[in-house]
């Protein structure tokens, strides 16, 4: 009978123990909060796009393709009750490149792609890269771990460069790629 009671006690305590083990540990004196934010649009609410013509780039070498956009996360921060000055640190968690045009082309025409963030007064910084491309229209980049990007996010606007090394290009063909980014933000709670 005693064995039976221990079994039920363990059975009841097991889900509680699992619940506790899945929670983040937070110090009672913690003054920061973490948020994840995924975005694919710039400050003007346009897609973050990298467009180029096959006439303007060379094959088998890296070519800088600018998004000609201003990226800004201030609106998101304000919606969450924060401002850029509350940013303690930020890291890129995910970067996906999507082939938009030509529609018939897969992304495996590339040998390599490097994503860099840019901002006035800050050196361009590599944040992700990829050198293996499936015969699909989308690829996930390898995000550089522990690379703090808060310097870019604190600015009113920052930009992006996609360095592309195409193996082949169509003649007189226009190319259009977009990107989806996900960042992890550490913010000062201030409460």
pTM: 0.82
Query: Does residue 176 fall inside a structural domain?
Result: yes
Number of domains in the chain: 1
Nearest alpha-carbon partner for 110 in 65, 143, 159: 65
Query: Does residue 1 fall inside a structural domain?
Result: no
Query: Does residue 22 fall inside a structural domain?
Result: no
Quick check: 23 pLDDT over 80?
no
Domain of residue 159, CATH code: 2.60.120
Query: Does residue 80 fall inside a structural domain?
Result: yes
Cα 55 to Cα 163, 172, 175: the distances in Å are 16, 6, 11
Cβ atoms of residues 75 and 156 within 8 Å: no
Determine the pLDDT at residue 31. 87
Query: Does residue 23 fall inside a structural domain?
Result: no
62-104, pLDDT tens digit by residue? 999 999 899 999 999 999 999 999 999 999 999 999 999 999 9
24-64, pLDDT tens digit by residue? 334 455 689 999 999 999 999 999 999 999 999 999 999 99
Query: Does residue 12 fall inside a structural domain?
Result: no
Q: Which string of b and e fits 41-57 if b means at least 16 CB within 10 Å?
A: ebeeeeebbbbbebeeb
Quick check: 112 pLDDT over 50?
yes
Which residue has 């007064």 as its token pair? Answer: 121
Query: Does residue 20 fall inside a structural domain?
Result: no
Determine the pLDDT at residue 9. 52
Domain with 155 in it: 33-188
Q: pLDDT grade, residue 129 (50/70/90)? A: very high
Query: Does residue 24 fall inside a structural domain?
Result: no
């Amino acid at each position: 009978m005693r064995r039976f009671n221990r079994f039920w006690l363990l059975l009841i305590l097991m889900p509680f123990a699992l619940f506790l083990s899945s929670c983040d540990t937070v110090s009672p004196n913690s003054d920061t909060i973490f948020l994840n934010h995924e975005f694919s649009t710039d400050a003007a609410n346009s897609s973050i796009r990298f467009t180029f013509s096959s006439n303007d780039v060379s094959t088998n070498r890296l070519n800088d393709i600018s998004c000609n956009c201003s990226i800004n996360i201030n609106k998101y921060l304000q919606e969450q009750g924060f401002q850029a000055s509350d940013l303690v640190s930020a890291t890129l968690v995910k970067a996906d490149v999507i082939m938009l045009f030509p529609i018939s082309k897969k992304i495996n025409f590339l040998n390599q792609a490097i994503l860099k963030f840019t901002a006035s007064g800050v050196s361009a910084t590599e944040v992700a890269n990829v050198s293996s491309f499936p015969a699909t229209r989308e690829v996930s980049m390898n995000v550089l771990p522990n690379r703090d990007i808060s310097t870019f996010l604190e600015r009113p606007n920052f930009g992006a460069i996609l360095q592309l090394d195409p193996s082949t290009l169509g003649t007189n063909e226009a190319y259009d790629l977009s990107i989806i980014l996900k960042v992890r933000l550490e913010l000062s709670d201030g409460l």
